[in-house]
Each structure stands twice: as structure tokens, then as C-alpha cells.
Chains A and B, each alone.
Chain A
Amino acid sequence: MTGNTAYGAASSRKHSLYRKGIEWLAWIGMLLCTGVTVSILFMILGYVLYQGASYINWEFLTALPLPAGETGGGIANALVGSAIVVGGATLMALPIGLGAAIFVNEFPSAQLGRFVRFLAEVLTGVPSIVVGLFAYALVVRTLGSFSGLSGSVAYAFIMIPIILITAHEAFRLVPMALREASLALGVPKWRTILWVVLPVSSRALLTGVVLAIARALGEAAPMLFTAFGNPFWNLDPRKPMATVPLLIYTYATGPYDDWHRKAWAASFVLLVVVLVTSLLTRAFLRGKSNE
């Protein structure tokens, strides 16, 4: 450059070095951040899987808990309890979540729809412990005792917004042309929704439901004063029930070493379920996008 004095050239070289330095620093900083985030995951996963795997065996999955302090026994009642409570919750949450999502997406002229969608977004932010209080006040107080049923109500409350939002997003992706084609053939709207919109979006719907179930399976806070926990075998949803996350809490905060080991093993089971669910839904969704 002809206009550059010697001083200017040196200064601009210095400045360019400075800028490159900042660029490198930023890159390294961002890399470190990502490294920290990812390594935390592997630290937690690795530790739980390692600790849990060393304790887990057939007896642990199929036996009932033994009295406090005795070594051995299992968590069969909690596994079954979790399944019953979450199953009940799914039965309650599925129609409400799905129906409301249909209303929100397929009848867009209604103001109510937009409001409901908005409420669902807000509901995902309600702390699970508050949901537990709600289920306590609504069901436990009315029926007069802790019960698996009240646990189901609490879980359902957590699942409804998740199902609603994922279902709404799934319906949104169904091409309008499909609906129009069906309506143009003289098919009434309700059959169009049930026979065209639902089947087309079924994969994404299923994914949403599975996500909701996985989320509920891991929640312990709302169970503290609803399902309450139960050291014995119980299939009656009107009585207190053991669930896995609650059992982990009880065992982890208890005084016995054997309890702590059981907490790790139960966490192992819970984590494997959550991981497998997550991987499966991901594979499922990817399969869809390849079609």
C-alpha cells in the first residue's frame, strides 16, 4: 500500500495479531465450555452406571425390600408401583393432552386454543413439588389417605403440557394439502382429523407420549406426599405405593451403606430406562425424517 507509513503498517500488523489472539482465545474458551458440559454428563453417567452395575442382579429386580439394616432384598414393588402410577397418569393425560392439541391445531379460529397452548407452555415451568401439593390438596385430602391414585394425578399434571405441546407441533407439520384433499372428497372434518391427521403424525405423537412418560418416571418430588412410598407389595391404587425415584430418595438419605448401594442400583435402572427411551425416540424420529 502506497499510503501506509512505516508506523501505520507496524501498528496494523500488531492490531491484526491482537485480533487473531482474541479469536484463538474465544475458540479455546468455547471449546472448554463445551468440554465441561459434555464431560459432566459422562462423569454422572459413568459413575451411576459403574456404581449401579456392581450391585444389580436378578434378586434386586424381583425381590421385595427387606427390613432396614438387612442386606439383600430388591425393589420389585417400586418397579411395579412406578409402572402402575405412571400408567394411570398416562390414561388420564393422554386424552386431555391429545384432545386439547387437536382443538388447538384443527380449530384455529377459537381464541381458547391459543390460550390453552400458552397455558401449556407456562405449565411446563410449574415446579414438580407444587404439582405434588396440588395433587395432595385435590386427591389425598378428599380421599383421606396417601394413594397411588393421587400420584397418578400429579404425574398426569406433569405429562399433559408435554403431550399437548409435542402433539400440537406434530399436527402442525401435517401438510394442509392432505387435509384439503380429504375435505374435498367430502370427508367430514372429524373423520379427516382421525383418519388422516392422526395417522400421518402418529410417529411424532408416540414420541411425545414416550417423552412425557420418561419425564414422569424420573420425578420424585410430587410423590413425597401423594404415592408416599410403601415397603410392601401393593397393587391397589387407593393405598400408598412405592415408586422408583421416591425409593432412591429414601435410600440415599438413609443411614445404611447397603441402602446407599441400593440407591445407586435403582438409579442405574432408572437411568437405563431414560437413556434407552431417549435413544429409541431419537432413532424413531430420524427414521421419519429419512422417509
Chain B
Amino acid sequence: MQGEPQVIGRPLGKLLTRASDKLVRGEAQVINLGDRFFYTVTRVLALCVVCLVLLLVLDLFRGAWEAIRQFGLKFLVGTTWDPVARQFGTLPTIVGTLVKAFIALILAVPISIGSAIFISFYTPKWLRPVLSYPIELLAGIPSIIFGLWGLFVMVPVIRVIQIWLKAHFGWFFLFNGPAVYGVGVLAGSVILAIMITPIIAAISRDILLTVPRTQIEGMLALGATKWEAIWKVALPYARTGLLGAVILGLGRAVGETMAVTMVGGNSFDLIHSLFDPVHSMASQIASEFAEATYSLYVSSLIYVGLVLFGITIIISLLAQLLLWRLSKGRIAILE
């Protein structure tokens, strides 16, 4: 029931020209009243998403404004976090966050990309879901459960390892810290690595599966071993996507909250060794916010959130840029 253009009181020819113009420009749908209404409604809903993002940024700025005015950019390099003296600087937590995230990457990248290679190249097709389903499942476990498991199961183990490392390699500055806590940089990094491994692995697997089989077969026909074909053809082909997957993992590691709050040790001092307890930005907000008693305190915590938001947005943009061709893997990750 396509609505006819109104002719009453208007020159029909002009209307027809306008209508055909719209047809040519692919906007013919707005001629129908119902269509116009529907278009507007969905457009408003789409605009809602944009507004929400703007509102988020605005709200964070507004909330952090008091602290921004008070401390400015010095906030980012200040090393004292002292609510009693009303002095706030967040360098130790920024360093803590990034160090934990990078150690987690170092642990997680070889393991996750290794699993991805194994699943996509060394596994027969019927076995692939059997191996990749657990990985997707692992990506879906709530962070709070990782935290609980980390706190009661992993930390005692880490503690033993730390005490041993300190006893034997204590001269090395990385191992010269308070080993007996168990919680700290190392524990935080390991739990983060466990959490981002399935994410990187699942996306990498999807990327590696897009490598054309003919290219690998060509290498094999030339007499290359399977590993040589993977190393010299498949990995270079998938390079960009794999980097995107890793950066996505980094973003998760930086923004991860609950698990790190539970095993990270939560101290405000700069770290000197792998065993030092330290806050990450997210855990700092999580554990302090409910206790923030005056507005500058709250505002400083929101400032930390703003900085965290800025860092993760940059990482996220970078990942999207590298991954824009691929959408299926990211769906799997949303599970």
C-alpha cells in the first residue's frame, strides 16, 4: 500500500520529480507515512546510543571536574593518595594497571595464539568445536568467579612460588618484595592472563580460519612442513588481525575490575618488584568509592575513572581499526 503523493493543491509534475529524485537517491522509503514514522523512531533509538555515549563522557567530566580543577594534569604524575590530607595523585595505580596488563599479555599471548594455531591447523574439523567450545565458555565466566577462585585457590599457590623465588633469587630486584602476602602484581597478572587467554584465543582462531587454505596447500606442495607453512604464510597473512586480537585482550586486561580487586593487593604505593601489592585503576575505584566521604575524594575517583576510560577507548579504537573486517569472532567473545 504505497502511499500516493498528495496532489490536491500542488502541481503533480513537481511532486513526481521530487519523488523520483528520492527514488534515485535511495530514500524512497520515506514517502510512505508509516515508513517515515518507522524511520524516525529507529533513527531516534539509534541517536539514543550516540547520546548515551556523549552523556557518559559528559557525566565523567562533570563528576571529575572538581578534581581536574584542583590537581590538573599533575594528578596523573602525583604519587601520593592521601584522603586525610586531601592530596590525590594516581601515578602508582596507572603504573600498576599497565604493568599488570602487560605481564598478563606476555603470559597470555603465546598460550592463546598457540591454542588458536593448534585448533585451526592441527585439529581435524570434527574435533574443532570440542576444543574451541571450552575456550568460549571460559570467556563467558563472570569476572567475580575468577576473583573468588583466584583468591582462595590461586593466591596460596602463588604465595608458595613467591616465597621460593625470593629465597633463591631474592638478589634479583623483581623478586625482592614482600613475598608472603601472595596477593600482588604477580597474582593480579596471572589472573588477568587467565581471563584474557580465551578472548585472544577465540578471536585469533577465527582470524586464522580465514587464511586461504590454498596458500597453505601451496606451501605444503613446495615441500614445506606444516609448521613452516604456518610460520611463513599463515601468520604473516593474519598478522593484522592477530594484533587486533591482542590489543582487544589488552583492553580487557586494563579495564578488568573484580578479579584484580580481589587478588591485586590494593596498595597505593609505587611498585618496585613483582610481589608488591598494588591497586589498578579499576580496583581503586571499586574499593574506595563507597567509602569516599567528601566531594573532592569522590571527584578524584571519578577522575581516575575518566583516565581509565580514556586509556581503554584508545585501545578499543585501535583494536577496532585492526579488526574491522572481522565480525564473527567478536560475537563469540560477547558470550
Binding site for B on A (CB under 8 A): 19-20, 22-23, 26-27, 29-34, 36-38, 40-45, 47-48, 95-96, 98-100, 102-104, 106-107, 109-110, 112-113, 115-116, 118-134, 136-138, 157, 160-162, 164-166, 169, 186-191, 193, 211-212, 214-215, 217-221, 224-225, 228, 245, 248-249, 252-253, 260, 263-264, 267, 270-271, 274-275, 278, 281-282
Contact = CB atoms under 8 A, between A and B. Distances in A.
B317 to A, nearest CB: 6
Contacts of A129: 255, 257, 282, 285-286, 305, 308
A37 B27 contact: no
A190 B334 contact: no
A110 B230 CA distance: 41
Contacts of B309: 126-127, 130
B141 interface: yes
B80 to A, nearest CB: 22
A271 B145 contact: yes
Interface in B120-151: 122, 131, 133-138, 140-149, 151
A123 B334 contact: no
Which 5 pairs across A and B sit closest by C-beta, in order of nearness?
Answer: A218-B142, A127-B255, A33-B114, A99-B45, A125-B316
A33 B331 contact: no
A37 B140 contact: no
B135 A249 contact: no
A22 B225 contact: yes
B73 to A, nearest CB: 20
B42 A133 contact: no
B146 A44 contact: yes
22 contacts: A22-B225, A22-B228, A38-B131, A41-B137, A41-B198, A44-B149, A103-B39, A103-B46, A125-B319, A126-B309, A127-B282, A127-B309, A157-B52, A189-B32, A218-B142, A218-B144, A221-B257, A224-B290, A252-B147, A252-B148, A252-B151, A281-B335
Contacts of A36: 111, 115
Contacts of A160: 49, 52
Given A22-B228, A252-B144, 15 more contacts: A32-B114, A37-B135, A44-B146, A100-B42, A100-B48, A107-B42, A112-B50, A119-B53, A122-B317, A125-B255, A130-B312, A165-B334, A186-B2, A188-B2, A220-B257
Contact of B225 (A19, A43, A136): A19
A174 B289 CA distance: 46
B227 A109 contact: no
A278 B140 contact: yes
A185 B82 CA distance: 71
A48 B149 contact: yes
A31 B143 contact: no
A243 to B, nearest CB: 11
A121 B42 CA distance: 19
Nearest to A25: B227
B148 A248 contact: yes
Kindly name the residue among B49, B113, B114, B252 whose own CB sees the greatest number of chain A CB atoms within 10 A.
Answer: B49
B27 A109 contact: yes
Residue of A41, A96, A121, A125 with highest tally of chain B CB at under 10 A: A125
Contact of A278 (B37, B328, B335): B335
B47 interface: yes
Interface string B6-26: 000000000000000000011
Contacts of B230: 26
A41 B138 contact: yes
B286 A224 contact: yes
Contacts of A270: 142, 144-145
Given A122-B316, A225-B290, A47 B285 contact: no
Residue among B56, B110, B117, B142 with the highest chain A CB neighbour number at 10 A:
B142
A37 B147 contact: no
B215 interface: no
B106 interface: no
B302 A29 contact: no
A263 B152 CA distance: 11
A37 to B, nearest CB: 5
A127 B283 CA distance: 11
B302 A249 contact: no
Nearest to B42: A103
A224 B289 contact: yes
Nearest to B43: A103
A222 B163 CA distance: 35
Interface string B283-318: 001100110000000000110010011001101110
Nearest to A170: B331
Contacts of A137: 59-60, 62-63, 302
A221 B143 contact: yes
A37 B111 contact: yes
B217 interface: no
Contacts of A19: 225, 228
B24 to A, nearest CB: 12
A274 B142 CA distance: 8
Contacts of B44: 99
A43 B150 CA distance: 11
B118 interface: yes
A184 B311 CA distance: 50
Q: Kindly name the residue among B110, B141, B328 whose own CB sees the greatest number of chain A CB atoms within 10 A.
A: B141
B246 interface: no
Contact of A38 (B122, B135, B331): B135
A149 B153 CA distance: 35
Contact of A164 (B49, B138, B228, B335): B49
